[in-house]
Structure 1
Amino acid sequence: MYPDYPFTSRFVSLSGHRLHYIDEGRGPVVVLVHGNPTWSYYFRKVISLLMATHRVIAVDHIGCGLSDKPQNYPYTLGQHMDNLQGLLDHLRVDRYSLIGHDWGGAIGMGCAGRQPQRIDRMVMMNTAAFRSTRIPLRIRVCRWPIVGPLIVRGLNGFARAALFMAAEKRLPRDVARAYLAPYDSWRNRVAVYQFVRDIPLQPGDRSYQTLVEVERGLDALRDRQVPLMLAWGGKDFCFDEVFFREWCQRFPRAERHFFADGGHYILEDKFNEIAPLLARFFSEGATSGSTVG
């Protein structure tokens, strides 16, 4: 049904809701954590790349992808972190590496920071796991009462706009359809809207204190010298070069790859360049290096 996504769908019940995930391959575990408004489909090529040598687990957050989409649910950063941890506990995963994109960075790093001794390696792509007041007007508008729900849930404006604004390369029609498929109605777009609402910008926002805790966890991961690779698209309208530099400052030993002509959906724009970097990073270990181009 979805191009380049031939994987077996699996489900776990968390607090009465079915969470969908992919679990392919055998070997050291790599956990893939998506953001908004994508789903595990975003990582389809990474799964195919790594499953020959690793056990690859890709989650669909509750409300996203092929997971259940309850209407009255605490769609918060902390809840998504708890769900990810619940999945890993269900699968009895003790040690793992992590790849995070967009919201997946904060969610994944939030889990990692709670138990940094369980983390082998990390890859962050166009994401943040620390506080910032930077938010594009086009996203801020989607947080406004009345207007936000109409745009995001009624017109599917957030997910549709991302197809054109988040990738520098034009997505094939069937790929674009696959990204939108789980979000085909007002009800099914509940998490897309709630993710936007949940962006913590100032004290008092519902997930602000959780993000503070995630930020503190970064220090523990840095102090343990957990290898980190950054793969970044320079034309990201949201997580721009300022965020990339912040990661570099917080993790001065990080391996850095900055693709000046790549967009927010960096795996759509630059997968052919990133694939050998990931294969080497997870098979041979992290080494100092950089890519700019």
Structure 2
Amino acid sequence: MDATHAALSPFDLTPIRDLYPFHTARLPLPGATMSYVDEGAGPPVLLVHGNPTWSFYFRHLIAGLRPHQRVIVPDHIGCGLSDKPQDYPYRLATHIENLGRLVDHVGLQQVDLVVHDWGGAIGMGWAVRNPERVRRIVVLNTSAFLSPRLPWRIAVCRYPIFGDLAVRGLNAFALAATVMAAARPLAPAVRQGYLLPFDSWANRVAIQRFVRDIPMSPKHPTWALVDAIDRELPTLCSKPMLILWGGQDWCFSDHFLAGWMQRFPDAEVVRFDYAAHYVLEDAHAEAVPRVVRFLGKDTETRK
């Protein structure tokens, strides 16, 4: 293997190898190198995570899809097994550009798209620029449109000094997510998996930058981009969409679910009352088979 495809990791994955037994490759990008999972064969599906997660979040879905499809799952720069440069443009625009470079690098002509959390804005940001390359879409507790709602538990992490100390010093954001983002307690090994790549002040840089990149006013540099993505979402209305929603999510609440249903009235919607933001943790036994069936429709017509 050349350096681009070397399955190397800066972290010792031994403690979570049973949970995360996937092949990873690496793609050099401007300013950093991206790690991504590349598993299975067949029609390609692209899974796009959010903050403070990484490809580990999709482990149940990867396992369910790889017997049928080629599954590509990036770790955004600053997340998971990807590089975590300190001086880097951690903005939505950059993450969208990086996703596009990955799609082109692995040669995906037409893809199924699965998005969660920040992955909604990132994945849909790429999709509205390439609607002809998108076949089906699965939405998991996320947004790709502006909202005035920002829970105080996230808002306080944006405060100068306090936010840095809490998010990067104490790892409060990632630690809290392992408790507050799931309705059911995570097993110790699963909790370890989420936290493993974010083990130092330096390695938590992207967690803080994602929080700061939430656009709450037109003066924010990412506001116009999210608004533009929203205005282009109608270009995807002809794509079959499955929305799987954790009903106990205090961040991406039913307000956001209503936003998706308004924009995609023909979408198939399943709301798991017992699940929270990490819907693939709380409801994976039901959610994964639904995604596999949904993405498996009409695969014989795809090249």
TM range (shorter): over 0.9
TM-fit CA distance, 1:285: 5.3
Q: Which residue of 2 aligns with 1:283?
A: 296
CA contact (8 A) 2:44 2:112 kept: yes
Asked if 1:67 is matched to 2:82, the reply is yes
From the superposition, tell whether residues 46 and 38 of structure 1 become closer, same or farther in structure 2 (CA, over 3 Å).
same
TM-score (norm 1): 0.95
**Paired AA for residue 180 in structure 2:** M
Equivalent position SS for 2:249? coil
Percent identity, please. 50
How do 1:1-293 and structure 2 match up within 5 A?
A: 1=14, 2=16, 3-222=18-237, 225-284=238-297
**Whole-Å separation in 2 of the counterparts to 1:85 and 1:210:** 16
Structure 1 residue runs of 5 or longer lacking an equivalent are 287-293
How many residue pairs match? The answer is 284
Superposed CA offset, 1:187-243 (max 9, x none): 000000000000011101011111112112211111xx1011100001001000110
**Paired AA for residue 125 in structure 2:** G
CA contact (8 A) 1:152 1:158 kept: yes
Equivalent position SS for 1:203? coil
List structure 1 segments (4+ residues) > 6 angstroms apart after TM superposition.
Answer: none
TM-score (norm 2): 0.92
Q: Which residue of 2 aligns with 1:289?
A: none
Equivalent position SS for 2:64? helix
**CA RMSD in angstroms, aligned pairs only:** 1.0
Superposed CA offset, 1:80-120 (max 9, x none): 00000011111111110100000001100000001101100
Superposed CA offset, 1:225-263 (max 9, x none): 101110000100100011001101110000000011110
CA contact (8 A) 2:31 2:88 kept: no
CA contact (8 A) 1:109 1:217 kept: no
**Paired AA for residue 66 in structure 1:** L
CA contact (8 A) 2:95 2:122 kept: yes
TM-fit CA distance, 1:16: 3.7
**Whole-Å separation in 1 of the counterparts to 2:108 and 2:296:** 19
